[in-house]
Amino acid sequence: MTGPTPGTPPVVLTVAGTDSGGAAGVAADLTTWSHLGVHGACVVTAVTAQDTTGVRAVHAVPLPVVAAQVEAVTDDLAVAAVKTGMLGSVDVVRLVAERLGHLPLVVDPVLVATSGAVLGGADVARAYAAHLLPRATVATPNRDEAVALCGVEVPSSELAERLADTGCAVVVTGGPEWRAEGAVAADCVDWLCLPGGVPQAVRHPVVATTHDHGSGCTYSSAVAAGLAHGRTLETAVADAAAYVTGQLRQGSGWSLGRGRGPVSH
Ligand code: PLP
């Protein structure tokens, strides 16, 4: 069998929910990937009715339809990396672990929307820890999600270390205590921990903006694009942080909607 024609982009698959406001979820993933030189395929797990002010309704796609989408993509396309966003149920978490757990896998354990809406309950958090994190290449929870996954409120560096004990690399992003953990005022600190390793701070500038909805999705999809291009995890993580910072800067003066506007993409 011959390889792909030169210039053919790597394929990355998102398994995630939609956001009717076009900020988060599948919209963020596919637009990020069109910037970063990979072809994006998408398996939709849930349809959300939301705008910049909040989530009004969530419709879970039936499990057999999620499974059929996974099958259609993997039967035909050579998937180089997978990114998961909102999975929404224990069954979908298990399906992803079983069908896609052998591929390079970036798990963004989406549990709470930027607006505070719950997109995955305690049972989903437990399923992530038990079934998906052990198979992931890297998990990218924000601080609130990391607390939900660990069940304790400890510093983000410690959350990263605890979650890395499940067997995957972990980046805990953002969080209210970043200054307390030694950042200078102009920096935000994410904590990266490799399995069995020591947490390392990944610093990047803070961008003051209300246009940040979808920034977590954008970050994790940028990490997946880096892995699909064959970069090391450390490089993919550093590049993704720089990419999100640039996108936040680009949209910082925008005024889309009445609430948390979309991160530019
Ligand atoms: N995926 C979906 C479908 C969502 O609705 C949300 C938040 O509203 C997210 C992911 C996470 O969004 P963010 O990147 O802002 O954390």
Q: What is the pLDDT of residues 186-243, one digit of tens each?
A: 678 899 999 999 999 988 888 888 899 999 999 999 999 999 999 999 999 999 999 9
The residue nearest atom 8 of ligand 1, judged by CA position, is 113
State the distance from the centre of ligand 1 to the C-alpha of 3, rounded, in angstroms. Answer: 36
| 132 is a domain residue | yes
Beta bridge partners of residue 46, listed in sequence order: 17, 60
pLDDT score at 178:
46
Q: Other C-beta atoms within 10 Å of 215: how many? A: 28
The CA 113 to ligand 1 mean position distance, Å, reads: 5
Calculate ∠ Cα 96-161-237, nearest 5°. 65
Joined together, the tokens standing for residue 92 give 């979908």
Task: Provide the pLDDT for residue 174.
Answer: 80
Domain count across the chain: 1
pLDDT tens digits along 7-25: 999 999 999 999 999 999 9
Query: How many A from CA of 144 to the centre of ligand 1?
Result: 13
- Reported in sequence order, the residue ranges of the chain that DSSP labels E, i.e. its strands, are 11-19, 39-51, 54-60, 79-84, 105-107, 138-139, 169-172, 187-193, 200-205
Does residue 137 form part of some domain? yes
Residue 185 or residue 165, greater confidence: 165
Does ligand 1 have an atom closer than 6 angstroms to the CB of 161?
no
Helix (H, G, I), strand (E, B) or coil at 44: strand
Residue 262 lies in a domain: no
Where does the pLDDT of residue 185 fall: very low under 50, low under 70, confident under 90, or very high at 90 and above? low
Residues whose CB is less than 8 angstroms from the CB of residue 75 and which lie 6 or more positions away in sequence, other chains included: none
Q: Is the CB of 222 under 6 A from ligand 1?
A: no
C-alpha 124 – ligand 1 centre gap (Å): 15
Domain that holds residue 202: 11-250
Please report, for the domain that includes residue 240, its CATH number: 3.40.1190.20
Ligand 1 site, residue 217, Cβ cutoff 6 A: yes
Residue 87: predicted pLDDT:
98
* Ligand 1 contacts CB of residue 213 (under 6 A): yes
